[in-house]
Amino acid sequence: MIHLRAKNVIVRHGRRVALNVGHWEQNEPSLTSLVGPNGAGKTTLLQLVAGLTRPSEGTVTLDGVAATDHQNRARVAFVPDRPVLFNDLCIADNMNYVARLAGLSEPDGLSRDLAAGFELEPLLDRFPAQLSRGQRQKAGIVVSTSRPVELLLLDEPSIALDAEARTILGQVLGGHASGQAGGNGRQIVVATHDPELTTVCTHSIELIDGVLVTHEIEADAEAAPEGATDGRTSKGSRQRPDWEAWRRPKN
């Protein structure tokens, strides 16, 4: 399990201090909510942990190695708030492409469980331009999680999702974070304003005006979040579909 550690981190935009994190670390399976008002620095903090940007001062490390080091790239995934999709590929091929970059023959179980929970199976042969805003958001999450990672960072994933999809998202993320969906669990950090999503999290951190003001571990953090699932039993007896059946037929 990755040991994430941020110490004495400061990010400056000109003279303005955009982010100030004195100390934050975790090294256990968890579903962590990152909360705070707009402009508090949530996206900036996620990008630092993902190694997409560097702090002006301080350190962000994964197992003692700088988050920006190339060896960490395969261990971490950052899912932005706006879907990132290849417009000339159908959704199934988007998923396969990301999976194959990681050396997999099919997308990771988290991705497939989310696709099942979101009921995306009938849409996997469609192209991004053929989807609604909410469907594109679901597809973006599913595609971005198609490769297995030890640390998953999601920025406002519930934007444009309806109430049912938000519930499924929390359940599936909780199941995979805790290990209930199989494996040893993983670390997932979710920047969100969604109170329903925060209620299934085991850990919570809060930013106000760029300053980390709380770092809490819930009393039942050792247990799976209530309602956590892998998506295969959501909404009755739904099973994870056979991935081969989702592939777009080739001419």
Tell me if 92 is assigned to some domain.
yes
Exposure string of 135-169, with b = 16+ CB inside 10 Å and e = fewer, is bbbbbbbbbbbbbbbbbbbbbbbbbbbeeebbbbb
Q: Report whether 34 contacts 13 (CB < 8 A).
A: no
Q: What is the tens place of the pLDDT at every residue in 92-114?
A: 999 999 999 999 999 999 999 99
Q: In total, how many domains does the chain have?
A: 1
Average pLDDT, the chain: 87
Residue 102 CB: number of other CB atoms within 10 A?
14
Give the H/E segment covering residue 173: helix 163-178
Tens digits of residue pLDDT in 149-197: 999 999 999 999 999 999 999 999 999 999 988 888 999 999 999 998 9
For residue 14, tell me if it sits in a domain. yes
Whose CA is closest to 148, among 97, 80, 99? 99
Give the range of the structural domain holding residue 217, as residue numbers without chain letter: 4-246
For 80-210, where are the E strands, in sequence order? 151-155, 187-191, 203-208
The reply to whether 155 falls in a domain is: yes
Q: What is the CATH number of the domain that holds 104?
A: 3.40.50.300
The answer to whether residue 251 sits within a structural domain is no
Tokens 């994870």, residue located: 240
59 lies in a domain? yes
Question: Which has the closest alpha carbon to 17: 52, 53, 57?
Answer: 57
* Whole-number Å distance between alpha carbons of 165 and 183: 24
- For residues 96 and 169, what is the distance between their CA atoms, to the nearest angstrom? 21
Tens digits of residue pLDDT in 191-223: 999 998 999 999 999 999 999 987 676 645 444
Q: Which two tokens stand for residue 91?
A: 């959704």
Predicted TM-score of the model (pTM): 0.86
pLDDT tens across 30-76, in order? 999 999 999 999 999 999 999 999 999 999 999 999 999 999 989 99
Tokens 């080739």 belong to 250
List the beta bridge partners of residue 31. 188
Let me know if 104 is exposed, middle or buried by CB neighbors in 10 A (0-12, 13-18, 19+).
Answer: middle
What local confidence, expressed as pLDDT, does residue 217 receive? 66
